Amino acid sequence: MTKLQEINFDGIIGPSHNYAGLSLGNIASSSNAGEASYPREAALQGLAKMRHNIALGLAQGFFMPLDRPNIGWLNALGTTVNKAESHIRAAAYSASSMWAANAATISPAPDSKDGKCHMTVANLQTMPHRSHEWPGTLAQLQLAFASQDNFAVHGPVPSPFGDEGAANHMRLCAAHGDVGVEIFIYGKSGGPFPARQNIEASKAVARRHAITEERVILAQQSDKAIAAGAFHNDVVAVANEQVLFAHEEAFEHREEFYAEVKRKFPQAEIITVPADKVSLADAIKSYLFNAQLVTLPDNNGMALILPTEAKDTESVWSYLQELVAGNGAIRKLCPVNVRQSMANGGGPACLRLRVVTDPELVDQRFIATPQKLDAIAEVVEQYWPETIIPNQLTDADLLGKIQDARRAVLKTCGLMELES
């Protein structure tokens, strides 16, 4: 018998973290384009979030930053770091793999007909800077989840069907280790911003993961939400166990979708945040729904691990006070400071990939402990650049520093086989 548990794997924020304004439709990314970033502070904020969650009694893992700039990708484009046009150079340097919610879609073993935990690495092909993440991510998934008796790790869904991973996927279940209903959210193109999750990719992932049709739901993200800056579903909705917590304007056909949820998972508790209490604009600005909705140990109910921006947004914070006072499933609010990631449109939930499995089946090098996080923090203090302005990406010294920093963290974690 295995002991299934939810483990949150956070992407360690890489040494090349910068604000290049690469994501059309992501308001924070566009509005901070060209600003100075603080990679060291960013990575320390991410590590502090992991420590915070471990202290709550949650299981925590991490992924290594990818090799940036991606010189192989530049070479495949017939160019080099020095010769590339600035938007291509910036795409090669992006530390975007920190947002592990976009690394892959995960279907835990109880959901799959073959009893294995299935994972499909996301192709992220809508955005050039993210489209070259998947080979590095796949290498880590194959290493971390190497047991082929327990895991089936799939390559990316083929082009042209954009797939952005767990950010557009939710799971409802009585408890993490029980069989679940999996919800795949896609967008339709035609609005001012790209719809990044293609319905064909969602369907393909559900088929590849061998989930019984009766336990699959496909739902369309609302055009309005995408146009307002919700480039992924996890900016307007989050689920955990029996709870679905969503903005009133998150889904295109809300009533039909809710009816299907109730039919396929009658125990569902749907908490809809009304637009007249929290506008779509405030939800997106505060990243209220990009909270990690987690189950606390010892029957202490659920907590929302929120960005501090949620506390700073009056409508959101007063709504949340009411919510936790109501004695429902969500009982605790935990604001965490991930402002460096937030300034590129990545909140607490973007930074993590949820995997339900027995922690003992995972390569232990990817499992976090307070001691390991301390050791990683030391490397970050010593090697991560303090600050980067995107127009410095031509600087050869910076390039060397970024490469040394990654090598140092791989070495500290005993993961040198991921070096190239």
Residues interacting with ligand SUG, by CB under 6 A? Answer: 19-23, 26, 29, 94, 96, 99, 101-102, 127, 130, 167, 231-232, 234-235, 344-346, 350
> How many C-beta atoms lie closer than 10 Å to residue 419's C-beta?
12
| Shortest distance (Å) from residue 6 CB to ligand SUG | 17
Which is the catalytic residue, given 41, 164, 182, 309?
A: 164
Which is the catalytic residue, given 6, 118, 176, 350?
A: 350
What phi and psi, each to the nearest 5 degrees, are found at residue 291? -75, 155
| Shortest distance (Å) from residue 238 CB to ligand SUG | 11
| Shortest distance (Å) from residue 388 CB to ligand SUG | 10
| Shortest distance (Å) from residue 292 CB to ligand SUG | 11
Query: Considering beta carbons, is residue 4 or 20 the nearer one to ligand SUG?
Result: 20
Query: Considering beta carbons, is residue 234 or 252 the nearer one to ligand SUG?
Result: 234
What residues contact residue 370 under an 8 Å CB cut-off, 6+ apart? 51, 54
Query: Considering beta carbons, is residue 29 or 313 the nearer one to ligand SUG?
Result: 29
Distance CA 34, CA 36 (A): 7
Go through 52-89 and write b for each residue having 16 or more CB atoms within 10 A of its CB, e for each that does not.
bbbebebbbbbbbbbbbbbeebbeeeeeebeebeeebb
Asked if 41 is an active-site residue, the reply is no
> How many C-beta atoms lie closer than 10 Å to residue 190's C-beta?
8
Distance CA 70, CA 99 (A): 17
Asked if 164 is an active-site residue, the reply is yes
Q: Is 397 helix (H, G, I), strand (E, B) or coil?
A: helix
Query: Which strands sit side by side in the sheet containing 169-173, from one edge to the other?
Result: 169-173, 180-186, 216-220
Alpha helices in 56-133 (DSSP H): 71-76, 86-93, 128-131
| Shortest distance (Å) from residue 149 CB to ligand SUG | 30
Element (DSSP H or E) covering residue 270: strand 269-273
β-pairing, 243-247 vs 237-240, is antiparallel
- Rg of the chain's alpha carbons, rounded to an integer? 20
Query: Considering beta carbons, is residue 177 or 187 the nearer one to ligand SUG?
Result: 187
Distance CA 406, CA 209 (A): 33
| Shortest distance (Å) from residue 99 CB to ligand SUG | 4
Query: Considering beta carbons, is residue 166 or 206 the nearer one to ligand SUG?
Result: 166
Query: Considering beta carbons, is residue 94 or 403 the nearer one to ligand SUG?
Result: 94
> How many C-beta atoms lie closer than 10 Å to residue 394's C-beta?
12
Q: Are the beta carbons of 203 and 142 closer than 8 angstroms?
A: no
β-pairing, 243-247 vs 269-273, is parallel
Query: Considering beta carbons, is residue 104 or 138 the nearer one to ligand SUG?
Result: 104
Question: 18: closest CA among 344, 384, 338, 309?
Answer: 344
| Shortest distance (Å) from residue 378 CB to ligand SUG | 27
Which is the catalytic residue, given 17, 132, 232, 247?
A: 232
Question: 164: closest CA among 187, 193, 139?
Answer: 187
Asked if 17 is an active-site residue, the reply is no
Which residue is it, tokens 């339709």? 188
Query: Considering beta carbons, is residue 11 or 335 the nearer one to ligand SUG?
Result: 11
What residues contact residue 16 under an 8 Å CB cut-off, 6+ apart? 39, 65, 68, 69, 93, 94, 95, 388, 402
| Shortest distance (Å) from residue 42 CB to ligand SUG | 12
Distance CA 128, CA 13 (A): 19
| Residues with a known catalytic role | 164, 232, 350
